[in-house]
Amino acid sequence: MQTLRDELRAIPSIVGKAPGFDLASAPQTPQELFLVWLRQAVGAGVPEPHAATLSTVDRDGLPDARVLIIKDVTDDCGFKISTSDESAKGRQLGHNPNCALTFFWSPLARAVRVRGIAQRASTAESAADFLARHPHTRVFALAGQQSSVIPDSATRDEEIARAKAEVESNKDVRSPHWAVWTIAANSVEFWQGDPSRDHQRLRYVRTGSGWDTQRLRP
């Protein structure tokens, strides 16, 4: 009888078609290489190439993770995200700003791992980000504490109706809890997979004067 383990082992892995990757000609900074890879993912039609898994740690030291969309990448290798201070990730970043991002572009057999420290943006930047969001998404950001338990459907409907009325009556209304965070990378690893498991891995580590590059064993 076939077991689940047998079923899983029969599923092909690293099935993407990797573009060329010459480690010797990699740029001096990780943000340059990240943008090249990101744009190649966009050009290849990879679904949601700007999606990443954000990993955080809660007050009990337990790990947490969820998928979100990055908003921008700065010239000094900062990855911008946004969330509510009331969300689980917002509370966790506020308590412990050490975090990680993981991008996975399966069709290209590529992944990028970012480790860094999250820095909260100014009130003005956070407000501008909130107001740039689609009105529909602003409604849900205003409707109630993200990730909290919904007591009943009627309460939720009332919260959404109230928030919708606010957005429709005042185009400048914003959530006081909305925040932009910049994850300042201290290390960035680029992984290009190979079905033979002879993967190519290049890690950038931030130093006082710039970045060191390290080639890693598969």
Residues present in the chain in total: 218
CA distances from 95 to 4, 58, 88, 118, 149 (A): 39, 8, 11, 11, 21
What superfamily in CATH does domain 12-123+179-216 come from? Electron Transport, Fmn-binding Protein; Chain A (2.30.110.10)
Taking the alpha carbons at both ends of the chain, their separation in whole angstroms is 34
CA-nearest of 83, 52, 46 to 67 is: 52
| Count of beta carbons in the 10 Å neighbourhood of residue 153 | 8
For the cut 80, the answer to whether the pLDDT of residue 147 exceeds it is no
For the cut 70, the answer to whether the pLDDT of residue 146 exceeds it is no
**Separation CA 143–CA 86 (nearest Å):** 12
Per-residue pLDDT, averaged over 99-112, amounts to 98
**Separation CA 126–CA 180 (nearest Å):** 5
CA-nearest of 207, 206, 21 to 109 is: 21
Per-residue pLDDT band for 160 (boundaries 50, 70, 90) equals confident
- Residues pairing with 104 in the sheet: 111
> How do the domains of the chain map onto residue ranges?
12-123+179-216
Query: Under 8 Å CB-to-CB from 136, ≥6 apart: which residues?
Result: none
Print burial letters for 127-148: b (CB count within 10 Å at least 16), e (below 16): bebbeebeeeebbebbbbebee
Higher pLDDT, 171 or 80: 80
Range with the lowest mean pLDDT among 125-129, 155-159, 173-177?
155-159
The pLDDT value recorded for residue 201 is 97
**Separation CA 159–CA 161 (nearest Å):** 6
Q: What is the pLDDT of residues 24-82, one digit of tens each?
A: 999 999 999 999 999 999 999 999 999 999 999 999 999 999 999 999 999 999 999 99
